[in-house]
Amino acid sequence: MSLGYKQLTPLWLLLLSMACLPVRCAEVSRIIGGQFAAPGQFPHQVSLQLRGRHHCGGSLISDTMIVTAAHCTIGQSPSQMKAVVGTNDLGAGNGQTVDIAQLIIHPQYNAQSQDFDMSLIRLSSPVKLGGAIQTIQLANADSNYAADTLATISGFGAVNQNLQLPNRLKFAQVQLWSRDFCNAQNIPGLTDRMVCAGHPSGQISSCQGDSGGPLTVDGKLFGVVSWGFGCGAKGRPAMYTYVGALRSWIRQNANV
């Protein structure tokens, strides 16, 4: 599978500690991993389950609504998916599992370019908020941050080249990239609905394994894991759907 832009690779893994596709595994030795999350550290974190297995990440924005990536839900049936909230260990059995009533995919989502890569998920019943289950506040429509601002990514993902899932939540910090580099001239296909984050060395960034998960800044949801060029590519950040650009759409469809 190509890891270049011509065949975009949705980011099925959030943390570079986890794994890469076989063609990139030679780079694993220089990839800096994240840390395991403590119980309740990321109470907004969602595991979207497809046919009983972890499929994508998401963020709880109300007791009935989740934000995730469109490429996580396109072509899927709500009856085949569930949401698990309130746990940092999917094997512990201590989270809430909730049925999904509706998948709301952004009408302008482009599967080839990953533009407008956002979906809302409406739960069949409200989750019980409190303790290890909390909603996350959304970044404002005009929110922006200086280059090199630290952001946090979190998610459940594989830990080796065999894509073995440990069931435990991990997190890492990444740097936001400025529009001086993060633009369509330097990254073909980049749009105003995307923001870049990672490390110039490629050592810390998102990677294949947990698309749809949160990129947070100052405790607010600023981005959604979307696509990239592969794991640990020097000078190549990962791309996140910019929540601020789609804030009005979220409000219209989720009332949040």
CATH number of the domain located at residue range(s) 136-244 in this protein = 2.40.10.10
Answer yes or no: are the C-beta atoms of 63 and 126 closer than 8 Å.
yes
* C-alpha neighbours within 13 Å on the C-beta side of residue 242: 21
Closest CA to 45 of 12, 82, 96, 88: 88
pTM: 0.86
Provide the annotated active-site residues.
71, 117, 211
Fold for 45-135+248-254, please state it. Answer: Thrombin, subunit H (2.40.10)
Q: Which two tokens stand for residue 2?
A: 């190509």
Of 5 and 176, the one with more pLDDT: 176
Give the model's confidence band at 68: pLDDT under 50 very low, under 70 low, under 90 confident, else very high: very high
CA 2 to chain centre: 21
Tell me how far apart the alpha carbons of residues 121 and 48 are, in angstroms, rounded to a whole number: 10
Give the model's confidence band at 27: pLDDT under 50 very low, under 70 low, under 90 confident, else very high: very low
Mean predicted confidence (pLDDT) in 221-243? 82
Phi, psi of 89 (to 5 degrees): -145, 105
Looking at residue 228, what is its pLDDT?
81
Domain with CATH 2.40.10.10 in the chain: 45-135+248-254, 136-244
Give the model's confidence band at 5: pLDDT under 50 very low, under 70 low, under 90 confident, else very high: very low
- Considering the chain, what percentage of its residues have pLDDT values greater than 70? 77
